[in-house]
Structure 1
Amino acid sequence: MMWRKFKLAIVAGTILILALLAAGTTLLLSNAERTARQAARAGLERSAQAVETAFNRQVLQVDGALASLPALFAGLAPGGAITPDAATQLLRGLNFQTLAFRDLYLVGADGVIWAATRRRGAGRPLPFGMAEFNQTRTIGSSAVFGPVRNQVTGDWSLYVGRLIELPPAGETKAGEVLAVAEVPLPVLTRGLAETGLQPGLRVALQRRGGQLIASLPHDEVGMGRVQAVRFDGLRADGRAFVLPETGGPDAAFAVVRPTLYGNIFVGLTIPRDVAMADGRRDRVRLLATTGAGAVLIVAFAVALLVALRGRERLDAERTRASTVLTNAIEAMSDGFVMWDENDRLVTWNRRYCDLYAESAPFIVKGALFEDVIRRGAEAGQYPQAEGRIDAFVRETVAWHRACSGTIERQLPGGQWLLITERRTADGCTVGIRTDITALRLALADLAAATRRANEAAEEAMRQNAILSEREGRIRFLAHHDPLTRLPNRVLFRSELDVALRAIQEQSGSVAVLYLDLDRFKDVNDTLGHPAGDELLRLVAERLRACTGHTVVARLGGDEFALICASSDLPTEAEALSRRLIAEMRCPYDVFGHAVVTGASIGIAVATAGDLDGDTLLKQADLALYQAKAAGRGTVCVFAEDMSARLRERLEIEADLRSALANRQLELAYQPIHDLAADALCGYEALLRWHHPVRGSVSPAVFVPIAEETGLIVEIGAWVLRQACADFAMLPGRLRIAVNLSPLQLAGSAIVADVTGVLAETGLDPDRLELEITETALFSKGHGNKACLEGLRALGVRIVLDDFGTGYSSLSHLHHFPLDKIKIDRSFVQDMPERENSAAIVKALAGLATELGMCTTAEGVETAQQLALVREAGCTQVQGYLFGRPQPILRVVEAVAAASGPRRPETDLRALG
């Protein structure tokens, strides 16, 4: 039966592992898709910037040549007029000096060419009109004309014109002349192609109004025509977007950038399938790898089942052998006993029970060695255990487990036994008990004297060893961390001073690396402080293994420091930092838990005579702060501007404190609609800050600072009170949703605070919804559940916000008292394009319905998204399609308008 259970466990475990493998593969595929899309957009944006730069450079080169003509003509005729022949010679010489343009013209005010690099060009009108240029005709102004097909070569050309002032010519009185350079499109597009465009990419140049003036690859049919997609009607900020905006199988990534010539735009497009080709190949490789892993897992499970079958047969053989052994040992004249590898009694003979008469009632199969000894000592089996049973049991168990040979034991009535124990190959212990009472009586006096002498010597040695150990430990702890046994701050500071003196004497440089663990607090909060201590010990071991002879110290908490002396700094320090970060990311085995963490590193470098130790440590600390602000797992080398950025952050923190005191913070309310009732059902309170100098400050900037400094608790209390007061004066049953930060939820007074606000404002508790994130659930461990239950007992509704972006554990839905879950906007906005996002939304809505919860779909901005979330079964929606965040006065007007008679054509968005 036991083996059957083992087999079933292996089968169930294999199925579970395969399910986890499938889930992990799905998550990796989703992340890979998103990463590939971001990489494609970034590459397209870089190409667009390169093409714009190449176009500006070529046109500016031509414009610069035109701008140099007045100086060249002034040198040609210092005091006299310029004849067309002289001008033609000058233009021809200039034309031969560059390949950026083909022909140069000088055009009078009547639009007729009076000088050109080719004589046949003089006297003819320009091949394009000058009306647009004449409207802003000023000296030094320039413009790009065309495209125009060259009648001689048949190529398309652009014309760069610049109004210049020349000395009066023989046939012209005015000094204003339009200098024009013809730029062949093949020359222009060749320069654009040299920027390294990826295959499948299309480049187009358009005028304002959509006229195509150049493209790569060349579009002969569309040249000079107004295109269906006009660049001036699209976003021209250099950021990638999707064309058409609704997506579809023919969608493409596009980027539009304006050039230095404001009426000309550069646009790049690439089919989305082409841009995402590498991502699809990665997807195939991942699926192949997953399939191979699944095959190996199944093979391993089969191998385990085969091994269990062999073990089952082995146990049967062992049972038969045990029967034979029992018959043999019963015939022995000495006592015989056997204990298994876990010190449990396996077998014994009758002589053994006769020798241990007082312990006989406790000698039963399966009894622990320690229990038999203890209960026998309590029954008087061992005279030497009287008054010291615990110590006797510990000594006997220690000797038994060591199997160190033989020992003599006294029994009641003056009887002595010679106890011999040996360990078998399979870990069992075999013991023989021989009666040596007669021999023992003869040697008793000699043994007693010898024992007393040995005990005295051993005690003296033990006391000396204890004193020596204590002195050494005190000396060690003065300069080392007791947890990791690394140098502490005192010893590290001393080693740094030594390193700084060394580089002053021998030249060179030294770097200090500050390392701070990422997500260490999560380990402490979820697994407990003993797990956190174990993680710190493991990190210390890895640091020692990675750095060799480099000084490594623990400064406190999860912060470590290293000293790196080298002639190639900071390059070598950065390389060491990258190796350390990669090593820190490898999983740790902490009490059976696979813990994954990371590290951020700040570096400060000093050369001979450059810095003292205190300044170097402060710079490393600033660099570490900057690295942590830039994101987890990053390396930052100290730069002089870091102090300024730190001051900027401190200024924002001070301004935020002042804003809270001076009532600069405001609330805006975004409507929430009930799909079943087709009506407004509530609002969410959103925090806004209008600084008198900085203007509108984004919550993404000041909210993280408020959370780090603890101001979020005071701000959150104000938001809760203000929102409740605003909505207490509104009629009806509209609910107000207020966000709670993890720090607020971690506080012990949150239930009392909410109770006080409800009593002060008179708001019905059923109208208040408190939104928390999944991260907040872990900020206080199991205490959070009690807090939420206390809030819910008041009648307040509990909402889980941004579900699907944090830990996303389904256990939250039944472990914590929740009334509603809000599905993150990332899933809603991807629903039209990604079937898996729609499936996730539908699954979450169905699960919430079965658990008796409401679901709110966030970020609904289009009618298509509204139809999809309605079809998925969501009960409520929120997003720009129904209204943007608005002040309370607008909310009052909207509620008043909604309470009046409705026209038949009024829809959900009328209240937003």
Structure 2
Amino acid sequence: MLNRLKLMVGAGVVVILMAAAIGGSHLVRQREQAAWRAAEQSLESSAVAVENALNRQLLQVDGALASFETLFEVARVGADQRETASRLLRGLNFQTMAFRDLLLIGPDGSIIASARSGGTHRTLPLDVATAGRAPTNLIGPLRNAVTGDWSLYVARRIPAWNGIVPVAEVPLHTLMKLLAETGVDAGTQIVLERANGQLVAALPHDELLTGKLRSPALPEQAVNGKAFLIGERRSESSTLNVARASLYGDIRVVLSAPSATLLADWRKDRRRTMLAAAVATLLLGAFAGAIFLAIRQRERADAERARAAAVLKNAIEAMSDGFVMWDENDRLVTCNQRYRELYSVSAPFMAIGAPFEEIIRRGAELGQYPQATGDLDEFVKDVVTWHRKGSGSIERLLPDGRWLLITERRTADGGIVGIRTDVTVLKAALAELAAANTRANEAFEEARRQNAALVEQESRIRFLAHHDDLTGLQNRFAFRAQIAKSLLRAAGDQGPVALLFLDLDHFKDVNDTLGHPIGDLLLLSVAERLAACVQDTGCVARLGGDEFAVLSLDPGQPQQAEALAARIIEVLSEPYLIRDRTISISASVGIAVAEGSDCDADLLLKQADLALYQAKARGRGVCCVFTAEMDEQLRARIAMEADLRKAIDERQFELAYQPIYELKSRKLCGFEALLRWHHPERGLVGPAEFVPLAEETRLIVELGESVIRQACMDAVRLPGEPRIAVNLSPVQLIFGDTVATVRDILNETGLDPARLELEITETALLANDHRNLGTLKSLKDLGVRIVLDDFGTGYSSLSHLRLFPLDKIKIDRSFVRDMTIHSDSAAIVTAVAALAAELGMATTAEGIETLDQLDAVHRAGCTEAQGFLLGEPQPILQAAHTTIFGPISSERSQTTAAPRSRLV
């Protein structure tokens, strides 16, 4: 038996060695092929990367040259203006590493302008005639006479410049360095050459061949981006090459790598494989010898095992704990008497070879395990699952109330050894100790929790003392301290400090319409965008509501602050997507700049606030830098706003009524209510001074409501039931509840709705036209007449006449004034009157000041007329008198009134 086993082992060793030799040889050949394919793919990929990098750099330069025409037009600089053009080029150069110099070359080859000082005093060996025949030309390589470096010149033709050609000098060593950064493998040569074989540049640099023809030149069919071999693969002098054409001219990229370098790793791998095969042969021989030695030792081991088993059995029986052993199939191998005593109910079933699961099941059926009170099968399954893990400990209760600690470990042959220890006394002691420990832990945890809460509250208080609770930005207190520190540093060598105040335009509308949660999320997004804009050049704070501030520490103030403000306005004006809603807002920015010693934090804050007021006065989404005049302007504005509020409270406003006549019957048909403000100190304040301010502060809503109410009350007192026209501001339509206001006033005064005319401008039609259209239709449903005022002076659109429920059009006085002078004005009035008649609308000609104008608008087809010729604005009592003496009087008709400005 032993000899046969030895023969089998020897034969197996021989077969394994032969298989290893054949397989190793085949593996070496396969790896050589794989290494060569990988080298080809790597070189082709590197060629693509180098070509893309070259195209990218040349496109960048070409794009810069292509922008010259627009750039010089915007800068209002002629290409032939040497000094001005050179200064403009110096502001553009060196922003990229792609080129060293920007030049303007005249038709005669002279340098007109250069981005480098003194660059116009040198000559360049450039063929300007060649540069003029194609849009973009690559000239070179040429050696720079100043630096001695090789350069490539990119020239782009601009037809409008009369032969002047913009040229960019691209240093070849810089260009090749950028190409090398694409990740080309070590040992690979990068070559730029023309189609005729002229070497443009090489990396590593070849000084002798640069600018000369390479021999032999690559055939055109090789320039396809595919790898090709020159020489024999395993020859030391052979190379693997890839050639690709670029986007510009006949420049192409050629990458070359020596075959010896490409296959170096494969040769190392081949040597390692041969060494591994030799080592495996030695190991296999040693393994066969070990087997022979193991066979001889087996009999001695069997004898020793029998003796050890007898010793182990005696030791097991002498143990004070229960001991049990199971084989790899979970069958009982042995157990001591103590184990049988502990499991006395299951002891009759503990026969050698009995399955573990069977013993557990029979014992559970007879009450061995008090835990098995439910599903018996589920209990047995859980016990068997835990047992088969072969590691760990578990406690189990016996029927007599004792507790066993069950510990099991898996043996090397897959069996399991188990120990059963009676831990009843120990468990009782541990239970008492655990109870005491639990009480101590609970007390400690409560103390720790309270301390943590106090620490968190204190940290939160400290944070909120210096930061905004919503956005986490600095608050006003911390920001003011930051301004003070920056001003102290600015007094030294830091330079000017710029403070930017921001106010979100229309944020209140978002808050009111979409709710405060959306508004808070919008503020968070604004804070994030502001922080991204400012980054490390300053700090950002939220001062409250929708007001933010930015402290800019850049030395180039105020230009840098204005640039930052423009960037902030642009970024904040981009739409926000919040909870599936797209929200658009804008921002106004006020800027104040301080040098440090001549300004403190409070003064700088005040100046920035004044600049913000001025910016908002100029419109939405603009920035404004503080000037000394703003302080006076703001004081005057604040005073005017205070007087305006006081005037509304004290009813300082009066209404004057200008009559409107029907041209066909020459009878009075209505009045237009005009607002007058008699200020106790300023005197008569014109509407042009206070109406824009009232609209901006939205006081026009309250003021307009009082005007409509007073006009309706006065209209009820007039005999003859003439119509009353009241101007309606676009602000009233947007922010006021105009429909409910007019309905309540009509109910209060008892005025017939058909007698009330509400005049709107074309601006009201343009702003939020969908909402305004609904408002005007609701007013129309009340019976009120809608009149389009000053038609033709705004963004007139015939679609407005079709969409909006208009009853009358008032033709602006500018057309009426010129009717008797310019035929085109008369034609416009006639056309509007005819159009209105076709649409079923009346027309009122405004600003009638002469009899000729009155006759002209009558002939043009206007149905009504209004102007100083027919009657000046007058108080209600005089208006009542005019109503009684309604027709146009002969005395008035014979008078030519001087032109006067209108009270809006």
State the TM-score, normalizing by the size of structure 2.
0.40
Q: Is the radius of gyration larger for structure 1 or structure 2? A: 2
State the TM-score, normalizing by the size of structure 1.
0.39
